[in-house]
Amino acid sequence: MAPEAHQKAHHTVPQLTDRTPTITGREIVAELVPPPQFEHASFENYRPDHDYPSQVAAVEKLQEFVNPRPAGFFSRRRQAKDDLPGIYLDGGFGVGKTHLLAALWHAATGPKYFGTFIEYTALVGALGYQETIKELRSAKLICIDEFELDDPGDTMVMTRLLGELVATGTRVAATSNTPPNSLGEGRFAAQDFLREISAMSANFETLRIDGLDYRRRNVTGQAVAVEPEAREHLVNTLLKRGSKVTEDDFGSLIRHLGTVHPSKYVKVIRDVEVIALRGVFLLTDQSDALRLVAFIDRVYDAEIPIVASGRPLNEVFDDEMMAGGYRKKYQRSQSRMVALTTGELPPHTD
């Protein structure tokens, strides 16, 4: 571990490792809304890349999905795909799928829920399967961001859950992230998605969205790593401002995340304005790496900048991980790390 991880700070800074929150099923349900950065997402403020016509086409299709046109008696549309209760947004990460999913949620009327796959499975764990069905049954629309395909048990639970909800009139929209590939090979996950949800697949129309990762359109592809002295200076300045900053040793944070269920990470970072990390190093344990991915997802949703020293944050996954079955997750997380890390003071807000 880097020597700087052992340096003593001259100030008392709150630490994320001191937070061990609890969360109830009711709290999870109350938070099944789009994350803050998508609070005002709409079809109108989605910025399509016009080099990829499928992005504009996706907006039109989702508008039809949320406001289906009534079909006349002689209409050929009555059994068309437009009438399917589910839609799956398929494409590489960073093409705006979450923005479009949130826009769909905002445009829908009636009871509706928006959450990540982890949040829905955590809800089942907290309330039990039947209580979750009762809680969600009234929904007109359920949006699932980042549908996970690598845990057969959770996938089966979600498939069964969605099957029961669709049978009572709920419409479902889902995304899952896939790695970018300039040649297109392996880029889209529709086949995986439809295979995994087998019994539900006939209810879903696949909406394919091409494009480049928008987070990298105007930024370099490297996470910012600052010198230890620069990190300390930034933290001290933020404290003097009265900003809500936390500072943790990277290894200690990784260990702490192993003691907290990922559904609670949102509470670990609640009310934090800047996260500082000391001594970032290469991870070699897959479980640690996957927990970090889930943590970065929540930090990204909350739009909390990260000031980190040591190894660039997007280089924490070793070669074996990047070549393995979870590489999709790691590539998406790398993209988010590049967007989150900074070496500058965030704007001062009172």
Looking at residue 298, its pLDDT comes to 92
Confidence of residue 71 (pLDDT cuts 50, 70, 90): low
Phi and psi (nearest 5°) for 27?
-65, -40
Classify residue 326 by burial, with Cβ atoms within 10 Å: 0-12, 13-18, 19+: middle
Give the CATH number of domain 25-67+82-209.
3.40.50.300
User: Tokens at residue 5, please?
Assistant: 């991880």
User: Tokens at residue 129, please?
Assistant: 């399967």
Amino acid at 51: D
Report the pLDDT averaged over residues 256-285. Answer: 94
Q: Does residue 117 register a pLDDT over 90?
A: no
| Top-confidence range, 69-73, 125-129, 316-320 | 316-320
- List, in order, residues 6 or more apart from 226 with CB less than 8 Å away: 234, 307, 308, 309, 343
Q: What does pLDDT average to over the chain?
A: 84
- List, in order, residues 6 or more apart from 329 with CB less than 8 Å away: 177, 290, 293
Torsion of CA 127, 128, 129, 135, to 10 degrees: -20
Count CB atoms within 10 A of the CB of residue 269. Answer: 19
Looking at residue 220, its pLDDT comes to 52
Phi and psi (nearest 5°) for 144?
-120, 110
Would you say 341 and 305 are in contact if contact means Cβ atoms under 8 Å apart?
yes
Looking at residue 215, its pLDDT comes to 55
Looking at residue 186, its pLDDT comes to 42
DSSP label at residue 345 = P
Confidence of residue 251 (pLDDT cuts 50, 70, 90): very high
Looking at residue 328, its pLDDT comes to 77
How much of the chain, in percent, has pLDDT values that exceed 90? Answer: 54
Least confident of 60-64, 127-131, 152-156, 339-343: 152-156
How much of the chain, in percent, has pLDDT values that exceed 70? Answer: 82
Q: Does residue 212 register a pLDDT over 70?
A: yes
- List, in order, residues 6 or more apart from 210 with CB less than 8 Å away: 52, 54, 55, 91, 92, 95
pTM listed for this prediction: 0.75
Looking at residue 83, its pLDDT comes to 77
Q: Does residue 10 register a pLDDT over 60?
A: no
Report the pLDDT averaged over residues 299-313. Answer: 95
Confidence of residue 2 (pLDDT cuts 50, 70, 90): very low
Q: Report the alpha-carbon distance of residue 162 to residue 157 in Å, rounded.
A: 9
Would you say 302 and 267 are in contact if contact means Cβ atoms under 8 Å apart?
no
Looking at residue 203, its pLDDT comes to 83
Report the pLDDT averaged over residues 214-237. Answer: 81
Closest CA relative to residue 106, chosen from 172, 55, 40: 40
Closest CA relative to residue 296, chosen from 249, 250, 333, 322: 333
Looking at residue 75, its pLDDT comes to 47
Q: Where are the domains of the chain?
A: 25-67+82-209, 225-342
Strands of the chain (E only): list them: 86-92, 112-116, 141-145, 171-178, 204-208, 245-249, 274-280, 306-310
Would you say 172 and 144 are in contact if contact means Cβ atoms under 8 Å apart?
yes
